[in-house]
A and B are shown apart, each in its own frame.
Chain A
Amino acid sequence: MDETQTRKVDIHVPVLARVEGEGALHLRIRGGAIETLTLQIYEPPRLFEKFLEGRSYEEVPDMVARICGICPVAYQISAVNALESLFGVGPGPWVHAMRRVLYCGEWIQSHCLHIHLLAAPDYFGYDSAIAMAHDHPDIVRRGLALQGLGNDIMSLLGARSVHPVGVKVGGFHHAPHPGDVAALLARLRAALPESEALVHWAAGIVVPDDDQAFTCVSMRDATEYPIHRGRVVASDGLAIDASAYDRHFAEYQVEHSTALYSRYRDAPYLVGPLARLNLNRDRLPDAIQQLMHDTGVTWPSRNMFNSMLARAIEVHYAISEAVRLLQDYAPVQEPAVAVTPRAGVGYGWSEAPRGLLWHRYEVDGEGHIVAARIVPPTSQNQARIEEDLRISLQAFGLQHGDDELRLHCEKVIRNYDPCISCATHFLKLKAERL
């Protein structure tokens, strides 16, 4: 057929204004094959790189926390890791443990939001969590309760759950009160059966059988499941320190998007919960490894549709890890060590809920930021998402109508939980059939 058909899906224009972006997918099909497939993702961190220039290192944790309303802790921890490594600061075991707890809170709230409000409705045939809540109120309530628990962990250590302000270069601004810790610890313990039930529930959801080959990239620590310290490894055997990141992972510009893409050895790669689990199962407690085994899924998994289950497993792990770290809690007099800035370049990273988040700061002798670079997980996954969409759409069948194609694309994209996760509920699809 020679005739050009351009069908556009109309998108509801929202009344209430928030200022974040939405995703747009442009698909050109010629002769029954995909000619071009481009995904546009809004990318707030780039704006911040310029914004940080000239600021004092002390301002950085609070400023980068504002990049993302869902994963502020990830931005803070990657930043302090970079700056502390440059300044030669070791904040000690108490700070290490409490940052890990704080980060667990972020994983819990982010993953629960994703599972219950974004991903699960797809698999139960609902067009939204609201529709699902009518029929499965207990599931949604459990999800919201666990999400709230994650928020409360963040409030305990970050003073507030959105844009937390507790973290500073050298440690924390304050140590939580033991009474507050005890109260939260009791709730965390009580939630463990709930999070374990969440894993069983997620494992019971039937997902498409979609085996794909891809390289997994995540942090890896000598003993712990990776959250905020360790090296970075890839499923092909790579193992590097943060300062070597940009020698192995290249960012590049593409014509269709203002976002930067990343590639490793000239190919797309995966970061995020499934990559973490695939590379670090042996760092989980025995009981959780057994739980993973009991799901019936073969690990490591090459099916991106197991991402929702991977998030559920990490929720359960994060709650049990927070319990472990808080059960012998004692406050310290000085929750931070002294910091003396020095000129140079610092590199740091951590495992954001969505995957590896790398920061690089060039700092002058007074501790002012000369240049900042932030590589967020969503942009690292972008090339992989496009690759996955090409494979999945071809397998799904390009003869389907725009609405069906769009729904399928949303499902595929949501596996990566990109920053446009919600917006993909109304993914702008421009399909040209040539």
Chain B
Amino acid sequence: MTHVAIIGIGSPAGDDQAGWCVAHTLQRSDWPDHPSCQVSVIALDRPGTRLIRYLEGTDAAVLIDAMQGGREPGAIHRLDDPALLGQDTLASSHGLGVASALELARALDLLPETLILYGIEIGDVSFNAAPSAAVRHAAAVVAAMIEAEVAERWPCRMPLSVAKTPEPSLHACGSRER
């Protein structure tokens, strides 16, 4: 059984929901069961080291998070080597940031064999605001890219099973379009 985890990371602050938008889009995908492959789609709110628990035991993980890399909101980054993030990306005041959590997982030998990271460039991060149209659009694009890549890269191909988690869904992206 190949286990692929797709993990959208975010917080309830405007564009910082970018990762959640991708996860929610993929959770809505109608992916039927497959006996030899499991894809879990999860949205996590500032997980810190809890991220490690969701990586444990997976063969591949695709992470989607907000990024600030100096480009326009909605720009898409893709990293195949999370080491490129650098080590002390401790951006959160609560727990470790994603890059540090990944480094910690590596130190404890808990990283999956394959790790892909998508970053969506963000702008406004006002608390409780809906994500911007640019970020929602980028999230839809990233979701489509991930869906295609998962189907192509892993031998199980489609169809896949989707495990949903009760983790946060403050603003399901699609429902906030108005």
Contact = CB atoms under 8 A, between A and B. Distances in A.
Contacts of B108: 133, 137, 140-141, 144
B100 interface: yes
Contacts of B99: 14-16
Interface string B107-137: 1110000000001001001011000000000
A422 B93 contact: yes
Given A133-B107, A162-B44, A421 B93 contact: yes
A128 B86 contact: no
Interface stretch (B30-38, B60-68, B141-149): B60-68
B168 interface: yes
A419 B95 CA distance: 10
A130 B104 CA distance: 5
A337 to B, nearest CB: 25
Interface of A: 12, 14-22, 42, 47, 51, 66, 68-70, 113, 117, 128-131, 133-134, 137, 140-141, 144, 147-148, 151, 155, 159-163, 419-423, 425-426
B88 A16 contact: no
B97 A128 contact: no
A19 B16 CA distance: 8
Interface in B45-76: 45-50, 52-53, 65-69
B163 interface: no
Contact of A17 (B47, B87, B125, B167): B125
B137 to A, nearest CB: 18
8 contacts: A16-B68, A18-B93, A117-B96, A117-B104, A140-B104, A160-B167, A422-B96, A425-B90
B90 A423 contact: yes
Given A15-B69, A17-B16, A160-B168, A117 B95 contact: yes
Contacts of B28: none
A300 B101 CA distance: 36
B97 A16 contact: yes
B138 to A, nearest CB: 14
A165 B98 CA distance: 24
Interface residues of B, number: 48
A420 B93 CA distance: 5
B93 A22 contact: yes
Which residue, B48, B66, B86, B87, has most C-beta atoms of chain A within 10 A? B48
B94 interface: yes
A159 B166 contact: yes
Interface in B1-55: 11-13, 16, 44-50, 52-53
> Which of B12, B98, B104, B128 has the largest number of chain A CB atoms within 10 A?
B104
Contacts of A163: 12, 45, 168, 170
Interface centre among B44, B85, B97 (most CB of A within 10 A): B97
Contact of A148 (B46, B53, B85, B88): B53
State the 5 A-B residue pairs at the shortest beta-carbon distance, nearest first: A14-B91, A133-B107, A20-B93, A18-B92, A17-B68
A204 B149 CA distance: 50
A148 to B, nearest CB: 6
Nearest to B88: A12
Contacts of B65: 16
A431 B107 CA distance: 34
A12 B45 CA distance: 23
A137 B92 CA distance: 23
Contacts of B119: 15-16
A69 B89 contact: no
A70 B88 contact: no
A414 B156 CA distance: 47
B89 A130 contact: no
Contacts of A16: 65-68, 85, 89, 91, 97-99, 119
Given A117-B49, A144-B49, A162-B44, A68 B94 contact: yes
Given A17-B125, A117-B96, A162 B87 contact: no
A423 B93 contact: yes
A160 B16 contact: no
A160 B47 CA distance: 12
A423 B68 CA distance: 18
A426 B90 CA distance: 8
B95 A17 contact: no
Nearest to B128: A51
